[in-house]
Amino acid sequence: MKKSTYVLSALFLSGALLLSACTEDNAAAPTTGQTAASENAPTAAAGGLTEPIKASALSKLPTAAKERTDTVIVGLTDPSGSFTPYFAQSGYDGNVTSLLFAPLVRVNKEGLPNADLAEKYEVSDDQLTYTFHLRPDSKFSDGSPLTADDVAFTWTLLHDKSYDGDFDITEAHVKGGEAYKEGKASSIEGIKVIDPQTISATLEKPNATALLLLGSDVLSKAYYGKDYKFGQLDYIKNLHSNPLGNGAYKLEKFIPGQEVRFAANEYYYKGKPKLEHFIYKTTDGDTWQFLETGEQDYASFPATTDNIEKLKNLGFVNLTPYTASNYGYLRLNFEHEAIQDKKVRQALTYGLDRQTIYVDSNQGAATVANIPTSPISWTYTEEGINPYQYDPEKANQLLDEAGWTMGADGIREKDGKPLTIHFIGSKKQATDIFIAVASENYKAIGVKFEPEQFADFNSQLAKLESGDYDMAAFSTSLMTDPADGVRDFVSGEISGYDNPEVKKLYEQGLATSDMEERKKIYHELYKVVNDDLPYIFTSNNKMVVATNGRLEGLVINPFWGISTSLPNWTLK
């Protein structure tokens, strides 16, 4: 439930994980209107692989992998080291915190909420009061008890006026939350600590995402709040590299650019994880090579025919297909005048051969995306959606209508300025494909395409935040609610973009918990966004996870990733 957490386009990160966080057991009975995966959504099959495949020849397992008995190693794009929940600098930091912290409520692989640190939760008939009953055995990784005071502190801190992270709890509209944020109250009226294991929050109006907003990670008041003063959160930065969590693992060591080491948390409420150690390996290199040599036990790849056959031939890996609950997109800079014109945005979309870039070049291991959700979402639809099939003639027509005339050098001009698109992306093979195709595509419609590539994600993100770009390739983090896919369009995250119709439909989608009503609203919202294009949507990727054949207990949760099942992983 974030305002925005950037992740490099998943198509560009074949070996990386996406933001993850939850488990599928201990399910609570959902309240009326809770969401589930759509029965009509396309299947989550990856390429031509529809069922998991077991390793056929474990005798081929590399020595390096055989020698590990209590440790699993997984590849991850370079995290920044900001390991306090709600303060992550990217989705990759979120991969780390998802192992260190457990939320009150999780989302299972069907998209339904489960009680987790909260033993159970209740929602009042008027959908305004949420009551959480904590597990009496919940502790932080130092053995200290986790109580309702810690939950109250977490909710309060997130309402602080100086909080500038990517989590927007104010969308829940907790009664008195705005007054606290504005400094008009010393506490938040709607938050009630009933007893050490029970806490409630009362909202000003119904909100379909409130359960997950309120049910997120819990911070220790004694640790993260000992220096807290209203309006002053800078101190918390000093704690990012030494987190105190309550999840399945605790941080053992972080070596920037190389690895993040974890040790099993003996105080984890479900019991100490079966694997004593876990490592996120962040060293740059060939993901395939790391898997083939046994240096890593887990890697994900686009589900191309070649990749699947190549992985099968290794013999010692298990294969699991999946489609994640995210989407790829090209972010546009609305501070630049040309981008503000919808006809230009539509022309850039019609003029880009997304089928070749994202589908054909990946042997069908993706589908072209045209709306801000995943095919596995219960809100997914193609009805009334413009597919923006590659059409340079249509693109040229729109640019003519927008007043961009072709210059003698083949570059369109308006008011003496050339139509230039400065693209920023990562140094990956798929980025090379994008640049090669986009350069030709945009040249054909009179757009000067200027690509710039970065060796690491953090450098690309810094460039984006400087504002020196027109177009940038990203993917969303995993989405647990349809609101997650459209929040950026109304939150102010896209500076310069403002569409009242999008805002109205977004609010309507939050105002009801009725699943069918929400579905209708989001279908209408998708039509508006598909026409207005605050992003150029690119792809929904089909992936295949390859794991060490000795690894047992892996369950892919398309909404949260590997941390749902990690505490149960074993090496046979």
User: What's the confidence (pLDDT) of residue 387?
Assistant: 98
418 with 522, same domain: the answer is yes
One domain for residues 206 and 353: no
pLDDT at 236: 94
pLDDT in tens, 29-53: 222 233 333 333 333 444 568 889 9
The CA-atom distances, in angstroms, between 433 and each of 14, 388, 438, 446, 540 are 14, 20, 8, 20, 17
Distant-in-sequence, close-in-space partners of 186: CB < 8 Å, separation ≥ 6: 180, 230
**Same domain flag for 414 and 454:** yes
* Averaged pLDDT for residues 298-314: 92
What end-to-end distance do the CA atoms of the chain give, in Å?
A: 36
Residue 187 has pLDDT above 60, yes or no: yes
178 and 121 within one domain: yes
Say what the pLDDT of residue 107 is.
84
Which residues span the domain enclosing 207? 10-33+44-244+542-571
Q: Smallest Cα–Cα separation from 15: which of 360, 457, 329, 313?
A: 457
User: Based on the structure, what is the number of domains in the chain?
Assistant: 2
Kindly report the CATH number assigned to the domain that includes residue 466.
Answer: 3.10.105.10
Please tell me whether residues 466 and 552 are part of one structural domain: no
Report, as an integer, the average pLDDT of 482-506: 94
Task: Please report the pLDDT score of residue 50 as a whole number.
Answer: 80
Tell me the average pLDDT across 396-425: 97
Q: In this structure, are 423 and 521 located in the same domain? A: yes
User: Which structure tokens are listed for 540?
Assistant: 């929904």
Q: Across residues 135-157, what is the average pLDDT?
A: 97
**Same domain, yes or no, for 462 and 558?**
no
Phi, psi at 112, each rounded to 5°: -95, 145
- Cβ atoms of 102 and 114 within 8 Å: the answer is no
Q: Is residue 4 part of a domain?
A: no
What pLDDT score does 284 carry? 67
* Residue 283 maps to a domain: no
Structure tokens at 96: 């780390």
Give a yes or no: residue 2 inside a domain. no
Return d(Cα 511, Cα 505) in angstroms, integer: 10
pTM given for the model: 0.75
User: Taking each helix axis from N to C terminus, what angle separates 342-350 and 392-401, rounded to the nearest 10 degrees?
Assistant: 160
DSSP H stretches of helix in 499-540? 500-510, 515-532
CA-to-CA distance for 35 and 45, rounded, in angstroms? 21
Mark 521-531 as b/e (b = at least 16 C-beta within 10 Å). bbbbbbbbbbe
What is the rounded distance in angstroms from the CA atom of residue 321 to the CA atom of residue 4? 27
**How confident is the model over 432-466, as pLDDT tens digits?**
999 999 999 999 999 999 999 988 878 888 899 99
Q: What is the DSSP letter of 297?
A: S
Q: Which residues pair with 359 in a beta bridge?
A: none
Sort strands 420-426 and 448-454 into parallel, antiparallel or unpaired: parallel
Contact present, 327 and 537 (Cβ < 8 Å): yes
Three-state SS at 453 = strand
Please state at what angle helix 342-350 crosses helix 515-532, rounded to 10 degrees: 90
* Distance from C-alpha of 310 to C-alpha of 365, rounded to nearest angstrom: 15
Question: Is the residue at 316 inside a domain?
Answer: no
Residue 296 lies in a domain: no
Q: Residue 413 above 50 pLDDT?
A: yes
Percentage of the chain modeled with pLDDT above 70: 91
Q: What is the pLDDT of residue 39?
A: 35
Q: Among residues 214, 140, 139, 137, which one has the least CA distance to residue 173?
A: 214
User: In degrees rounded to 5, what are phi and psi of residue 266?
Assistant: -70, -15
Is 263 among the domain residues? no
Is 403 domain-assigned? yes
Q: Are residues 229 and 99 in the same domain?
A: yes
- What per-residue confidence (pLDDT) applies to 73? 96
Which residues have C-beta within 8 Å of that of residue 182, sequence separation ≥ 6? 161
| pLDDT at 10 exceeding the cut of 80 | no
CA–CA dist 264, 273 (Å, integer): 6
182: nearest Cα among 122, 230, 143, 216: 230
Q: Give the CA angle between residues 105, 108, 114 to the nearest 5°.
A: 35
CB atoms within 10 A of CB 456: 16
Q: What is the CATH number of the domain that holds 203?
A: 3.90.76.10
Count of other CB atoms within 10 angstroms of residue 274 = 16
What is the spatial distance between Cα 79 and Cα 254, in angstroms, rounded to a whole number? 10
Residue 372 and residue 459 in one domain: yes
Calpha distance 528→508 (Å, rounded): 14
Angle at 553 between CA 548 and CA 559, to 5 degrees: 100
Q: How far apart are CA 34 and CA 333, in angstroms?
A: 35
Q: What is the mean pLDDT of the chain?
A: 89
DSSP-assigned states of every residue in 46-114: BTTB-S-B--S-GGG--HHHHT-SSEEEEE-----S--STT--SSHHHHHHHHHH--BSEEE-TTS-EE
Residue 247 · residue 83 · CB < 8 Å = no
Query: Does residue 305 surpass a pLDDT of 50?
Result: yes
Residue 308: pLDDT band with limits 50, 70, 90: very high
Q: How many CA atoms lie within 13 A of 71 on its CB side?
A: 18
Please, are residues 547 and 8 in contact by the beta-carbon 8 Å criterion?
Answer: no
Comparing 31-35, 174-178, 244-248, which segment has the lowest mean pLDDT?
A: 31-35
Same structural domain, 498 and 557: no
Q: What angle do CA 378, 383, 388 make, to 5 degrees?
A: 110
Would the pLDDT of 417 be above 60? yes
Same domain, 223 and 344: no
Beta bridge partners of 540: 367
Q: Are residues 172 and 27 in the same domain?
A: yes
User: Which carries the bigger pLDDT value, residue 45 or residue 418?
Assistant: 418
In a domain, 5, yes or no: no
Question: Which amino acid, one-letter code, is at 199?
Answer: I
For position 110, what pLDDT does the model report? Answer: 72
Please state the rounded mean pLDDT for residues 90-99: 89
Most confidently modeled range among 122-126, 523-527, 561-565: 523-527
